[in-house]
Structure 1
C-alpha cells in the first residue's frame, strides 16, 4: 500500500529540506507545500478507505530491511541520549534508554516471532492521521511567522529556526508511523522518536531551566518506554506475538498494565504530569503541536486501543482512577496560575485525565466520549496556544492579568482566544457535551468516585476559564494602543482552526454518526447511538447559541467609546488609566487582579500530595499484578 510510506515520507522529506535551506521565503514555501501535501494525502487515504468499504487494511509482513533500518536508528537514538546525558551531567537518564533499547533488540534477535502484518489502517488510525495532518499542518504554517517574531522578541536566544521547524515535521512523520502501526515493536520505535524530539524542542532555548525541563520530560517518557519494552518482552516470551490486537484479545493484565503505564507517562498523568507544564518553556508551536494536540494524544490513543481489555479489570480501575484524579487535581492547580501557557498546560493535563478515565472504564459509551473529547481538545487547545503565542509576541507578556481589556486592544486575537476558551467549557461546544456523556457513563457504571471527580473538576474548570474570559472582555482602553505584530500566516492558521471548531459544533450529529460511531465499532465489534435523536435534535437547536460569545465580543468592540476616556480612580488619574495620585500626593499604580487562591490550590501545596496518591495507586496495582503471577 503506497499511501502509508507516502504519508510518513512527505513530512520526513519536508523536514530534511527545511533543515538544509535557511532562506526564510523558500523555507516558508516548503512548509506550506509539505503541510498541504500531508492534508491531501491523508484525505485521499480516507476517501480510498471509504470507497473500499471501510474494511481494516493490514499490510507489510516481510519487512526485514525496514526492521534493520529501525534497529540502526534505535541504536543511534540510544547513543545520542547517552551523549546528551553525559554532556549535561544527567548520566542516570541514559540507563533507562540503554535498558529498553537492548531489551527490544534482544527480543528481535533471540525470540522467534509469529509472522504478522506491521501496519493497520482503520477508523481510529485514520482519525488520528487527520488530526495530525490538519492540526499539525496548520501549526507548521503558523510557526513560519511565529518564529520570526519570537526571535525579534528574544534577542538572547540563538536563532536555530531551521532545526526547530525541521523537528516539528519529523515529529509529524513519527506520529503517522505510530498510529498506523499494529506491531508493538514498530509502535515502540515511533514512540521513542516522539520522546526524543520532545526533549530537543523543550530545550530549544538552551537555558538552564529549559535543559532541566527537557531532561525531566525525557526521563519520564523513557520510564514509560521501559514499561513498553517490558510488555514487548513478556508478549514475545508468552505468545511469540507482538501484535496489539492479540494482546487486547488475550487479556494478559501485566502486559496491559505495562502498556497502560507507557500511555499514562506519555499523556502526562499524575504522578508524571510535571514534564508537560515544564515543556511550556519551549516556543509556542512546540506547545501547540507536541504538548497539546498530538504527542500527548499518542498516550490516550494507546489507552483507547486497550480500552476493551480494561473493562472491569484491575488495570482498568487503575487507569480510570489515575485519569479521574488527574482531572480534578490539575483543574484545581490551574486556578492558581496566571501564566496563560501554564493554564493551558494544566488544562491539557486535566482534559487528558478525563479521556484516560473514559478509556479505563472501557465501555462503548465512555470510549465514545473519549474520542469526542480528543477531537475537540486537539482543535480548541491548539488554537488557544497559537492565540497566546501571538498575544505574547504583540504585548510582550503571556500573563493573563496583562490581557485585561484585550478585546479593545487587540480585538482579532481576543476573538480567537475567546472562542477557544468557550470551546473548552461552554454549551454547545463539543467539550461540554462530551463531558456530559462521560458523566452519564460514570453514573451508569456506578463509579461514585469518578462521578465526584468529574463534577467537582468541571466546576473548577469553569472557574479558571471564566476568570480568563472576563479579563479579555473587560472595557479597558489604554492611552497608547498596542501594536498587533501577528503575521498573516499566523492568522491564517488560527482562523482556520476557529472555523473548524465552529463547524465541528454545527455538524455534531454527523460527526457522531460517520466518525465516532465507526471507531467504537472497530474497537468493540458493535455500537449503538449513545445519544438519542431527541437529544441530538436539542443539540442542533443549541448550536445556534455558538454565536453568543463572538456576538458579545463584537458588541463590546462596537459600543466601546472611540475616544480615550480617563477611568475614575481613588484619586487623580495621571492620564494613562493605570496610575493615580493619592491623598498624600504620591503616585500609585492601579492594580486589578483575579482571585488565584494560590495558598489553597497552588502547585506547591497540591502537587506533592497528588503525586504520592497516584504513585501509591500505581505501586499497589502493579504489586497485585506481580503477586498474582508469582
Structure 2
C-alpha cells in the first residue's frame, strides 16, 4: 500500500477541519491526535520504504486530474496575493506573483511535456519526511499549551487559534509534498504554498509591524519563486523536461543559478536574511516551525539536491561564498543581540549559511557535513525556540539579561535550554563534529575564504552561546520568585526534543553510516568513510561526554542550596549580593550585564554592508551567466 497520498493528505484534511473547532479543549485533543497520526504515518512510510530495500522509488506518472487541481490552486494563491497586495498597497508582490504564475501557466499549457514520474522516495526525501513529521508535529503539540498562555498575556491580540493551527498542519502537508516531489512543477506548487502560509503566520497578530514583516517575507520568497519558474521555463526549452534529476544532469548555468536563487531566498541567506529576522513578531510555535523543520529547510534541501551539479561551477562558487559569508556575518551580529529569539534567528541564518556553503562546494565530504548539520539543527533549534517561548510566558520577557540565574528559578526549562545551546556548539554534539568535517572539506578544496569564514564564524558562535549559557547557570537568587506556568503539553514536546538530541549523540555513528552514507551513495554513486575514527571509539566518547552539560547544571543547582556569603558592596548589603543601600541612604541595584559589542557588531552597522556585498556578488554572477561569459 502506498502511504504518500495519506501522508500528505491527512495534515491537509486536518487543516480544513481545525478552523471549525471553536472549543479549545476539543481542538487540543484533535491536534494531539492529528500530530500523533502524522508521526505514525511518516514512520510507517519509512518502514515500508526500508522493507522494499531502501532504494530510490519513482511514483505517480498519470496525474492529469491532480495537475489540473494544482493549476487551480496556483491561480487561487495568485488571486489571494493580488487581493492582499491591493488591500495593503504592496505593488511588488502583485507584480512578482503575476509574472511567475503567468510564466508557469504558459509553460504548462504550451510545452509538450513527456509523461514522467512526479514523486520520488530516496534516502534524503525520507529523512526530510521524518524531520518534518516528527519535529513539526511536536511543535503543533507544544502550540496547544503555548497559545493558551500567549493569549492570556497578550489580550490586545485577537484570538485566532483555529486559523493558527490550521496553517500549522497545512504547512506540514506542503513540506511533505515538497520534499517528495520529483517534478519541478509539483515542487514549485508546494514551494509557493509554504511562502503564502509563512506570510499568514508572520502576520498573525495583524499589528503594523507584523503586516510589514509578513510582506517582506512574502516578496523575498516570491522573488525566489520567480527564479524557480524561470528555471522551469529554461529547462523545458533546453531539455524538454521538468524533472529535478534531469535539471541536475543537465547542469546548465542559468537554470541552476535560478534554482539556487530560490534556495537562497527560502533559507534566508544574505541579502535575503531580513525576512527571517522579521518573522520573530509571530508567536513562538510559528517561529519554531519556520526556523527548524519546514520553511528554511526547504531551501537547504533544494541546494543539497543540486550539490553534485554545482561542484566546480560559477553557481557553486556563488552559493558557497554567500553561504560562508552569511555564516560569519550572522554569527557576528548575533553577539550584539540580547533578545533570545533574535539570537536564535541570527544563529539559524548563520548555521543555514554553513549548510549552504557545504552544498555549494558540492563534494562528498561537504554534503555529508551539510546533511548532518541539517538533522541536528532541526531538533536543537526547535527545542530552543520552544524553551525561550515558554520562558517568556513565565518571566514576561525573553531578554537574556532577565534570565540571570534562571537555573535556580526555572530549572526544568533551563535544563532544556542548556541542552539545546550545548547541541549547537559543544562536543560531543553533532553540530560541532559536522562543522569539523565541513572545515576539513574546505581545507581540502583549498578555498581560503571559506576556511576563514568557518574558523572565525565558529569563534563568534562560541562567544554568543557561551554568554547565554553562563547567564543561565549563574548562582543568583532573585528577589522575586518565578512561577513555572509551562503546561504539560509544552514540556512533553520539549522533553522529547531533548531526549532526541541526546539520543542522536549516542547514535551518531549510526546516523553517519546508516543514514547519511546511503544518501551520499545515491547522490554521488559511492560513499567513503568521512570520519577516520572507529565507530566504537566514537560511541564510547559520546556515552561518556554527552551527559556533561546536564550533569554540570544539576551540580550547580545543588551547590546553590548553600547559603550565599554576603560580600562588601560599597554600602549595606541587603542579603542577595545584588542590592545594597549606598552612602546617601538610597537603595541601589548592582546590575551585571553581558558584553554585547553593539558598536562593533550591531545589526545597524553590519547589515547594510553585508546586504550590499552579497547582493553585488549575486548580480555579478547572474550578469556573467546571462551574458554568456559563464556556462
- 3-state SS, counterpart of residue 92 of structure 1: helix
CA-CA distance at 1:161 after TM superposition? 0.7
Deviates more, 1:539-548 or 1:23-32: 539-548
For residue 92 of structure 1, what is the aligned residue in structure 2? 92
> Where in structure 2 are the equivalents of 1:295-374 lying within 5 Å?
295-374=295-374
2:505, 2:542 within 8 Å by CA — same for their partners in 1? no
CA separation in 2, counterparts of 1:418 and 1:316? 36
1:478, 1:564 within 8 Å by CA — same for their partners in 2? no
2:477, 2:576 within 8 Å by CA — same for their partners in 1? no
CA-CA distance at 1:434 after TM superposition? 0.2
1:478, 1:577 within 8 Å by CA — same for their partners in 2? no
CA separation in 1, counterparts of 2:463 and 2:31? 39
CA-CA distance at 1:133 after TM superposition? 0.6
CA separation in 2, counterparts of 1:535 and 1:447? 29
Unpaired runs of 5+ in structure 1? none
> Where in structure 2 are the equivalents of 1:182-581 lying within 5 Å?
182-534=182-534, 537-538=537-538, 540-561=540-561, 569-574=569-574, 578-581=578-581
For residue 160 of structure 1, what is the aligned residue in structure 2? 160
1:578, 1:590 within 8 Å by CA — same for their partners in 2? yes
- 3-state SS, counterpart of residue 588 of structure 2: strand
Change over 3 Å in CA distance of 1:77–1:629 after alignment to 2: farther
CA separation in 2, counterparts of 1:143 and 1:377? 20
RMSD: 1.4
CA separation in 1, counterparts of 2:539 and 2:372? 15
CA separation in 1, counterparts of 2:125 and 2:561? 52
TM, length-normalised to structure 2: 0.98
Displaced runs of 4+ in structure 1, greater than 4 A? 562-568, 574-578
CA separation in 2, counterparts of 1:489 and 1:156? 25
1:263, 1:302 within 8 Å by CA — same for their partners in 2? yes
1:574, 1:581 within 8 Å by CA — same for their partners in 2? yes
CA separation in 1, counterparts of 2:111 and 2:73? 21
CA separation in 2, counterparts of 1:263 and 1:187? 12
- 3-state SS, counterpart of residue 317 of structure 1: helix
- 3-state SS, counterpart of residue 534 of structure 2: helix
CA separation in 2, counterparts of 1:419 and 1:247? 40
Unpaired runs of 5+ in structure 2? none
Residues 391-441 of structure 1 show CA distances to partners (whole Å, capped at 9, x for unaligned) of: 000000000000000000000000000010000000000000000000000
Change over 3 Å in CA distance of 1:139–1:566 after alignment to 2: farther
Residues 579-628 of structure 1 show CA distances to partners (whole Å, capped at 9, x for unaligned) of: 43222222333211000000000001110110111011101111111111
CA separation in 2, counterparts of 1:506 and 1:130? 19
2:291, 2:382 within 8 Å by CA — same for their partners in 1? no
CA separation in 2, counterparts of 1:247 and 1:576? 65
- 3-state SS, counterpart of residue 271 of structure 1: coil
CA separation in 2, counterparts of 1:92 and 1:306? 29
CA separation in 1, counterparts of 2:398 and 2:280? 11
2:92, 2:219 within 8 Å by CA — same for their partners in 1? no
For residue 14 of structure 1, what is the aligned residue in structure 2? 14
CA separation in 1, counterparts of 2:123 and 2:170? 24
For residue 612 of structure 1, what is the aligned residue in structure 2? 612
